[in-house]
Amino acid sequence: MSTMRAQIPVQSAARRPLLARRRLDSERVISWVLFLMALSALSGLAVITAFIFKEGIPIIAKVGLRRFIFSSHWYPLEGEFGILPMIVGSLMVTAGAMVIGMVFGLGCAILLTQYCPPRMVSIIKPAIELLAGIPSVVYGFIGVAILVPFIRDYLGGPGLSVLASSIVLGVMMLPTITSISVDALRAVPKSYIEGSIALGATEWQTTHMVVLKAARSGIVAAVILGMGRAVGETMAVIMVAGNTLELPHSILDPVRTLTSNIALEMGYAAGDHRKALFATGVVLFVIIMVLNTIALRVSRRRSKVKVLAK
């Protein structure tokens, strides 16, 4: 690469040596700056990851991985660190949010792409994307003010619950899922749609048998991003989840998620307790990795089949 670059000024030197030199220098500088920026960003992430693991792994080793993950007793002051209720809480809340986010987000995307005139989409889509900019504390506040009393009065339980958290998170995921799914659905070639219609399919049959299938990997990507937001979201969840340390038995029970646990106790934790919070972070990290891997696998399954069929 560098030898090739060095040759360029030699060739053009005869005609306009100065200009060629200057351009080369500035390009070199820009590429170095970009390289440094990328390097510092990546190393920053690497350091953070390494730090979390360095702080968290020893305490997991001390308590024992099985006890840390499968015990329901979290009494930090007495040295009891079991995070099972929080793992279950995080998974339940995330699953609920995904169902809500997917059903409504995808429904919205299908409506926008298949049944709305393009001009309307170009107005509605940015409006939906704006919703992503609302701070999570606002979603949490609306959840506490309206949703929680509603659940308490009409469905029972304390109101602060898995259900409330799932709904709030699901709504927060909507803009992400909708906007990425819209892009994926729009990218489906028109010829697929026409081909299907011409074979006697109705619009809805075409949508669910052709368009959704063809857009699957994009939709999965949308859901992965939404899921990342759901697992990681803290503020809104703390406000509506109830944050108890019990294992939830129904979706109307209050829960504490992994992220809430870190946020709630970080202020006063010290020693092993503080380390146990980092260990909670490690578990969160692993869960997100696993979920993302599964989702990616799902989205790639189709192309694998293709390769095999050849």
* Binding residues vs other proteins (CB under 8 A): 117, 189, 191-192, 194-202, 205, 209-210, 213-214, 306, 309-310
Q: Which amino acid is at 94?
A: T
- Torsion angles phi and psi, residue 242, rounded to 5: 95, -35
Q: Residues 165, 171, 175, 178: is their CA dihedral positive or negative?
A: positive
Strand 80-81 and strand 74-75: the pairing is antiparallel
Q: Which of 217, 216, 221, 230 is nearest to 288 (CA)?
A: 230
In the bound state with other proteins, the residue whose beta carbon lies nearer, of 185 and 240, is 185
Angle, helix 84-110 to helix 271-309, in steps of 10 degrees = 40
Q: What DSSP assignment string belongs to 198-241?
A: HTT--HHHHIIIIIHHHTHHHHHHHHHHHHHHHHH--HHHHHHH
Nearest approach in angstroms of CB 201 to other proteins is 5
Nearer to other proteins, 168 or 188 (CB): 188
What CA–CA distance (Å, rounded) separates 142 from 269?
30
Region of residue 297 (phi > 0: left; psi between -120 and 50: alpha; otherwise: beta): alpha
Please, which residue, 25 or 194, has the CB nearer to other proteins? Answer: 194
Residue 148 CA to chain centroid, in angstroms? 24
Sorted by sequence, the CB contacts under 8 Å of residue 46 that are 6+ apart come out as: none
Query: Minimum Å distance from CB 210 to other proteins?
Result: 6
Of 310, 304, 284, give the one whose Cα is nearest residue 227.
284
Compute the least distance from the CB of residue 120 to other proteins, in Å: 12
